[in-house]
Amino acid sequence: MNRYTGYIGTALSIAVLVFAVSVLFGTFLDRPVLVSYVLSNSMEPTLSEGDIIFINPFVFNPGKNDVIIFKSGKDYVVHRIVAETQSGFITKGDNNIATDQLNGKPNVKKEDIAGKIMIIGSWAVAIPHAGEYLKTLSTVIGRNKIGIIAILLILGLYLSTESEERKAKKRIRGRTALRLSFSFIYFLFSISILVIIALSMVMVTEERSIEYATTSGAGKIENWYFPDEVFQKELNIHNYGKYPYIYKLEISSPRLSIEESTPFTLRSGEEKIIAATVHAPVETQLNTERIKIWKYLPLLHADAFEMLFSINPFLPVLVIDMELALILVIVYFMIGGQNEESIRLQTRSLSLDRIKRELYTKLGGII
């Protein structure tokens, strides 16, 4: 019985950690990861305002009747796909009369979809009316990112090593002691920071498309143009994130050109309108021109960034992580991490405050 109780406790602990880490990553990436919450009653009776929902991010072919979470402006919306067109998906809330597109919203592109809501039969997997707590948790994490990462790492280490310590039956004054090498803790802490920063650049890459038709009936319908006609479209690029980013546009179509070929920086909340010039083909057909929008943290010199990007768009991410890794190594030696001190915690008296005090002492007050 005790063994099964231990299994249940471990499973619950892992579930709580996965939940917390999902919220943490979502806060860093400014997009929902695995879990989110409903903002309105537009999806009743399937989902209600404040419900916590669970997301399957691996949706490669969304289709009709799927309930998805997608980016609309600066928010993420949970609605159902009711139709698919060449220019994207038509979406609608179950409780709404009209589709989102009839209310002036653009068709939803695949790149705007963060995932599919988990549904079993006709039942959406959700925690009713608990979204306010998740919203509060996201706010707290957003304000205390570094400290919370460290605390999660220590808790994860404690949960993963506790059973091994029990098996070894190491007793110090009648109590089991958990010994954690400071170097090991700092290594895991640094790796977590580097992974999160890399993901914050890679996962926010966007792809925009310009869709139009070349036909002799140009002008009768929007986005219909004559063969071989040259026209312009505007791209509105907005930084909805909490940090400044360097933006670089990558064009794969020979029929498309832009006036902004050099990288540019947008601070949080800023936007920029880019004029794209399209030279339509001579054939009568439907056409799609694609532009990829890369985003990077502004930690590289402009010339170095241009050179690295010209080799491979992922190379600036690698170099930025290498820069940050070097800074973390310097900090490690500055705080005396090479002395190989260990944090010893009595598991019977283990508490969050105790962990924080030990970390604060070892790290010299940087957390």
* Residue 167 and residue 217 share a domain: no
Residue 312, domain member (yes or no)? no
Q: What mean pLDDT do residues 82-100 have?
A: 89
- Amino acid 68: pLDDT: 92
Omega before residue 57 within 30° of 0, cis = no
pLDDT over threshold 60, residue 71: yes
* Residue 117 and residue 45 share a domain: yes
- Residue with the larger pLDDT of the pair 346 and 72: 72
Determine contact, residues 79/98, Cβ cutoff 8 Å.
no
pLDDT class of 353 with cuts at 50, 70, 90:
low
* Residue 149 and residue 99 share a domain: no
Taking residue 179's Cβ as centre, other Cβ atoms within 10 Å add up to 12
pLDDT over threshold 90, residue 354: no
Q: What is the CATH number of the domain that holds 106?
A: 2.10.109.10
Residue 73, domain member (yes or no)? yes
Q: What is the CATH number of the domain that holds 248?
A: 2.60.40
124 backbone dihedrals φ, ψ, rounded to 5°: -80, 130
pLDDT over threshold 90, residue 178: no
Residue 317, domain member (yes or no)? no
Least confident among 130-139, 222-231, 261-270: 130-139
Cα 208 → chain centroid: 18
* Residue 65 and residue 155 share a domain: no
Residue 109, domain member (yes or no)? yes
pLDDT class of 310 with cuts at 50, 70, 90:
confident
pLDDT over threshold 70, residue 156: no
Q: How many angstroms separate the Cα of 65 from the Cα of each of 68, 80, 90, 91, 324?
A: 9, 6, 11, 9, 44
* Residue 260 and residue 182 share a domain: no
* Residue 152 and residue 124 share a domain: no
What span, in angstroms and rounded, lies between the C-alpha atoms of 117 and 108?
16
- Amino acid 89: pLDDT: 92
From the list 47, 123, 33, 122, the residue with the least C-alpha distance to 79 is: 47
- Amino acid 79: pLDDT: 93
Domain with 338, as residue range(s), is 144-186+325-362
* Residue 235 and residue 176 share a domain: no
- Amino acid 118: pLDDT: 86
* Residue 125 and residue 6 share a domain: yes
- Calculate what percentage of the chain has a pLDDT beyond 90: 8
- Domain count along the chain: 3
pLDDT over threshold 90, residue 220: no
What span, in angstroms and rounded, lies between the C-alpha atoms of 209 and 253?
11
* Residue 150 and residue 119 share a domain: no
* Residue 291 and residue 172 share a domain: no
* Residue 177 and residue 275 share a domain: no
- Residue with the larger pLDDT of the pair 105 and 261: 105
Determine contact, residues 34/54, Cβ cutoff 8 Å.
yes
Q: Per residue in 187-219, pLDDT tens?
A: 777 887 787 778 777 767 777 888 888 988 887
> Reduced to 3 states, what is the DSSP secondary structure of residue 203?
coil
pTM: 0.54
* Residue 151 and residue 131 share a domain: no
Query: What's the angle, vertex CA 229, arms to CA 227 and CA 231, rounded to 5?
Result: 135
Q: What mean pLDDT do residues 33-49 have?
A: 86
- Amino acid 218: pLDDT: 82
